[in-house]
Chain A
Amino acid sequence: QSALTQPASVSGSPGQSITISCTGTSSDVGGYDSVSWYQQHPGKAPQLIIHAVSKRPSGVSHRFSASKSGNTASLTISGLQAEDEADYYCCSFAGPSPSYVFGTGTKVIVL
């Protein structure tokens, strides 16, 4: 069960859009529609921002959107804001017994 692969960092200017990729295998990302994304600010616990590949929990900004194609999931942040500067982690169900694998994490830098 290897960690999903994410870029170490992604940067963008305020107002721009950025996309974070999350690459796994057919045993995790590609095999289930159970990809979730988490935002983690320094010193804080992670917070769920996307579940079931593309669904936003109540209260999460519409600027966050996500999708999946094959073994790769993606998170897009539109209209980048200073408050979006944080670490982002993808996570996938990796069955068959309940099992999960996280991504390596991506630091988003707002220039």
Chain B
Amino acid sequence: QVQLQESGPRLVKPSETLSLTCAVSGYSMSADYNWGWVRQPPGKGLEWIGSIHHSGRAYYNPSLESRVTISIETSKNQFSLNVMSVTAADTAIYYCTGVPNGVAGDPWGQGTLVIVST
């Protein structure tokens, strides 16, 4: 059974870079598959951030593309998210997900709340 676990700083200062890692267990990331990130501001809806193929090719939400980078390390069975120049609007629960064909997320990590504040 595939399991995902997010990790990273829970507090980030405005204008700095938010960095999260997702550890994948129960599945080899060397296989042909996609992985992704979704976020959810407290009390609000879901927003697709982007996804990455095991080959390293990444795709991003056009509204975030200029500030977001997703990378993958298949040898460590993990993938990562960087969001640059964060503001309070980037405060959210960040979920890492598997991305089967045509599906934005399945399965999901438990999510991690990241707060942008001084």
Q: Which residues of chain A have C-beta atoms less than 8 A from B101's C-beta? A: 34
A64 to chain B, nearest CB (A): 15
Q: Which chain A residue has the least Cβ–Cβ distance from B109?
A: A45
Is the C-beta of A48 less than 8 angstroms from some C-beta in chain B?
A: yes
In the complex the two chains form, is B108's CB within 8 Å of A102's CB?
no
Q: B111 touches which one: A45, A91, A99 (CB < 8 A)?
A: A45
A111 to chain B, nearest CB (A): 23
CB within 8 Å for A1 and B105 given contacts A99-B48, A102-B47: no
In the complex the two chains form, is A51's CB within 8 Å of B106's CB?
yes
Query: Once the chains are docked, how many angstroms separate the CA of A52 from the CA of B99?
Result: 13
Query: Once the chains are docked, how many angstroms separate the CA of A45 from the CA of B110?
Result: 6
CB within 8 Å for A36 and B95 given contacts A89-B45, A97-B59: no
Q: Which residues of chain A have C-beta atoms less than 8 A from B61's C-beta? A: 1, 99
How would you classify the secondary structure of chain B's contact residues: helix, strand, loop or mixed? Answer: loop
Q: B108 touches which one: A47, A51, A105 (CB < 8 A)?
A: A47
Query: Once the chains are docked, how many angstroms separate the CA of A36 from the CA of B104?
Result: 8
Instruction: Give how many B residues have a beta carbon under 8 Å from the other chain's beta carbons.
Output: 25
Against B, the Cβ 8 Å flags (1 = close, 0 = not) of A73-107 are: 00000000000000001010100011111111100
In the complex the two chains form, is B59's CB within 8 Å of A99's CB?
yes
Query: Once the chains are docked, how many angstroms separate the CA of A41 from the CA of B14?
Result: 30
User: For chain B residues 94-118, which have a beta carbon within 8 Å of chain A?
Assistant: 95, 99-111
User: For chain A residues 1-40, which have a beta carbon within 8 Å of chain B?
Assistant: 1, 3, 32-34, 36, 38
